[in-house]
């Protein structure tokens, strides 16, 4: 039974696991204005749900998430009058860049359940989760890089290392879930038919850990990243991505 329904997201809880389902299946869960707003709202709701000790993020239909909606999103759609320094700062910082540390620092373990397309900003979402389980035949990568310019997610080089991250971010190539696991872009990959069962089993195991202990562990792991400069990297990549809109030429 669905516990809470947003316009483009479903939230349900089974035992001690909360499931966030991106629900624009006809669009491969592309991140529209509404879906971006609903992501903020559902993570607030899931944080307040004291019975949910672990959160699973997944997508309805054929894909996890194909990235920002090309027909309309805070990330891609210029405001009236075009991008300016102030409106780009206000819109992108609040509606896009603030989501990254919000999900990364979410005070409960998060698991991304990836199938189908997981590209561009969809790949950002899974990178921000603590653990990603992908189907072997999922499609991951950053094909939007073929447009040029600086993307806004700093975790690629940190997680994959320089050579593998640049291979994806400079070529725009896409890889399978199996290749992504071998590369370190996701945690593990499993056959498509086993994906849901594997995620449910993993989430159930983690949910047995005392909440305070799980939170303390996540704080320690995230503080490690902060000591490596992750907060500054989020700011820097956001700035570089924003400036590209202001200075690029056709």
Residue 23, domain extent: 4-247
Q: Residue 27: what pLDDT?
A: 98
Q: Would you say 192 and 141 are in contact if contact means Cβ atoms under 8 Å apart? A: no
Average pLDDT, the chain: 96
Q: Residue 90: what pLDDT?
A: 94
Joined together, the tokens standing for residue 107 give: 């005070």
Q: Structure pTM?
A: 0.96
pLDDT tens figures, 162-174:
999 999 999 999 9
Strand, helix or coil for residue 30: coil
The total number of structural domains that make up the chain? 1
pLDDT tens figures, 45-103:
999 999 999 999 999 999 999 999 999 999 999 999 999 999 999 999 999 999 999 99
Q: Would you say 60 and 10 are in contact if contact means Cβ atoms under 8 Å apart? A: yes
Q: Which residues of 184-203 are buried (b: 16+ CB within 10 A; e: fewer)?
A: ebbbebbeeeebbebbbebb
In this structure, what CATH number is given to the domain that contains residue 74? Answer: 3.90.226.10
Q: Residue 238: what pLDDT?
A: 96
Q: Stretch 196-222: mean pLDDT, rounded?
A: 97
């Amino acid at each position: 039974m669905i516990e809470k329904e947003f316009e483009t997201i479903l939230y349900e809880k089974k035992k001690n696991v909360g499931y966030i389902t991106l629900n624009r299946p006809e669009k491969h869960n592309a991140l529209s204005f509404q879906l971006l707003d609903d992501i903020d709202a559902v993570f607030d709701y899931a944080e307040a749900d004291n019975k949910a000790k672990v959160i699973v993020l997944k997508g309805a239909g054929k894909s996890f998430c194909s990235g920002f909606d090309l027909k309309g999103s805070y990330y891609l759609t210029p405001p009236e009058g075009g991008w300016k320094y102030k409106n780009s700062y206000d819109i992108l910082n609040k509606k896009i860049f603030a989501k990254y540390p919000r999900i990364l620092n979410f005070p409960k373990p998060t698991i991304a359940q990836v199938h189908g397309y997981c590209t561009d900003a969809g790949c950002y979402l899974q990178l921000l989760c603590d653990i990603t389980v992908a189907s072997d035949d999922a499609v991951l990568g950053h094909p939007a890089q073929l447009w040029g310019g600086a993307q806004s997610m700093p975790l690629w080089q940190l997680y994959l290392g320089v050579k593998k991250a640049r291979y994806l971010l400079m070529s725009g190539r896409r890889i399978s879930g199996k290749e992504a696991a071998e590369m370190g872009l996701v945690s593990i990959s499993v056959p498509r038919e086993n994906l849901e069962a594997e995620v449910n089993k993993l989430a159930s195991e983690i949910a047995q850990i005392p909440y305070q202990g799980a939170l303390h562990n996540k704080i320690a792991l995230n503080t490690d990243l902060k000591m490596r400069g992750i907060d500054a990297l989020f700011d820097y990549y956001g700035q570089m991505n924003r400036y590209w809109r202001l200075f690029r030429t056709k």
